[in-house]
Structure 1
């Protein structure tokens, strides 16, 4: 699977993120909910006299002009601490209060940072390695915040890895109760093409040494009579689970790239490059895990 080599620079790239039509909200136990909890109200209980005007907070978060943000408020699309705010002029404390717009959480704590890395092959998903192999400090050192990886990719696997200093977000993204989907592109040798039933078998489930495993979806992306490329989406995070699923069917992957975690896409980010999540990406990701 050819991947462009990273320049190691800080040039920003256009995000490939496309917000879903419906945000999959979850509570703090991972159970689906239809909207953040809370009753409609006037905002009196939310007002902080020494705080910052809500429309100014929204404008700084990228929701347009002050006038556009006032429209968001008056139309009931903004919630503070779970309560709908309709009045203009409400002041809040961005450091302690939680704001949602259309169900998406705004990250207003500027000390917290979440970054997408396109992890190259032969890099260990760790902040140090006793064997002296390339590790993630090479990439986290580009930021002043102390970042940690969310989950792992094995040393041979490339693709999307999140680095963050938000411990609660990292915990929820890796906890199985939230079932965050991940998508992988898998290449393997397949003389004559992959078996007709392979994709269905992956979707129906296969038996592994530590129990059954099933893809949420699978489809053939390409085949040329010598190799095949299959895209697989699943929400499990067991060690090397994708490789083991294919191995159980007699196929050893020659390349494996993770292209998506929840709503966040790898896009055209080159191997070894990083970028900060956009506000909309982060808000949708947080909503998925009940934040």
Structure 2
């Protein structure tokens, strides 16, 4: 896909640092240094011994043509990418020109970022409004996600859930392997939430520390990877929390364990994908860069 689609509203139907060093957060769109190959259960695959696999397909399409169609510039620019060793096919670095591949069956990475070459696959971001069920059919007449997928010809499904009262970033896709890995706990994909709650006099000093160190819930301990106060005015407070767990209503329950009921909860990030300025009820297609970085993060 060459770019992103126009925004749609609901009315249209549709790195951690070393010891003693501060944690260093990777840029949202910076590809990892290397592709993390894993199997379907999240286990890292060992590096292959011996020669790299044969990637040439005699009846395939020239690699530089595939790269150009994926948005990497002219064919000459794509030839330069290949010559400099920045392109991998099925895990093997390709240096020579003229290699032909099958885009439908082979995996291509540029600078460690996976290219989605299957035009039939689509992943979009939805800013889910409050009081919408994270399902393709809503019980008791409640609003559901079909309202926001109707404009797409592909049959899309939600990746994970947000509860009825929570709004924010929800991914919709027809890529089953991507959805599986994003929801599998072994891949530990970070998710960031902005949490608003009543806090007369300001939040207690120990709240953020308790969230970081871990709190006890009825189904076991839970800990935020990061937590910080964004705002407070003596009546309300806003705290940003990042964690990789996906248990049911876990953020709300973590705050409730400390005596705070959230009055608003918004998910603003999943891995490298940001909600940004997308309005509630709007959708947009992931950019090639977002999708490639997201796929690399889960070992695709």
TM-score between both structures, scaled by the size of structure 2: 0.87
1:234 aligns with 2:246: no
1:30 aligns with 2:65: no
- How far did 1:36 drift? 8.4
- Aligned residues: CA RMSD: 2.3
Residue equivalent to 2:92? 83
Residue equivalent to 1:106? 115
Q: Is the 8 A contact 1:185 1:230 kept in 2?
A: yes
Instruction: Give distance in 1, aligned partners of 2:164 and 2:170.
Output: 12
Instruction: Give distance in 1, aligned partners of 2:287 and 2:130.
Output: 25
SS in 2 for 1:127: coil
SS in 1 for 2:278: coil
Residue equivalent to 1:19? 29
- How far did 1:130 drift? 2.4
Residue equivalent to 1:201? 210
Residue equivalent to 2:23? none
Runs of 4+ in 1 over 6 A off after TM superposition: 35-40
- How far did 1:30 drift? 2.7
Give deviations 1:188-217, integer Å, cap 9, x for gaps.
011111001110100000000000000000
How many residue pairs get aligned? The number is 279
Q: Is the 8 A contact 2:32 2:113 kept in 1?
A: no
2:165 to 156, 159, 176: 156
SS in 1 for 2:162: coil
- How far did 1:31 drift? 4.8
Residue equivalent to 1:54? 63
1:219 to 223, 228, 244: 228
Instruction: Give distance in 1, aligned partners of 2:262 and 2:236.
Output: 10
Q: Is the 8 A contact 2:13 2:147 kept in 1?
A: no
Q: Is the 8 A contact 2:168 2:266 kept in 1?
A: yes
1:258 aligns with 2:270: no
Instruction: Give distance in 2, aligned partners of 1:200 and 1:51.
Output: 56
Instruction: Give distance in 2, aligned partners of 1:103 and 1:36.
Output: 16
- How far did 1:7 drift? 6.2
Instruction: Give distance in 1, aligned partners of 2:47 and 2:178.
Output: 17
Instruction: Give distance in 2, aligned partners of 1:247 and 1:266.
Output: 25
Instruction: Give distance in 2, aligned partners of 1:285 and 1:24.
Output: 13
Q: Which runs of 5+ in 2 are unaligned?
A: 1-7, 15-26
Residue equivalent to 2:17? none
TM-score between both structures, scaled by the size of structure 1: 0.90
Residue equivalent to 2:20? none
Residue equivalent to 1:14? none
Instruction: Give distance in 2, aligned partners of 1:21 and 1:170.
Output: 20
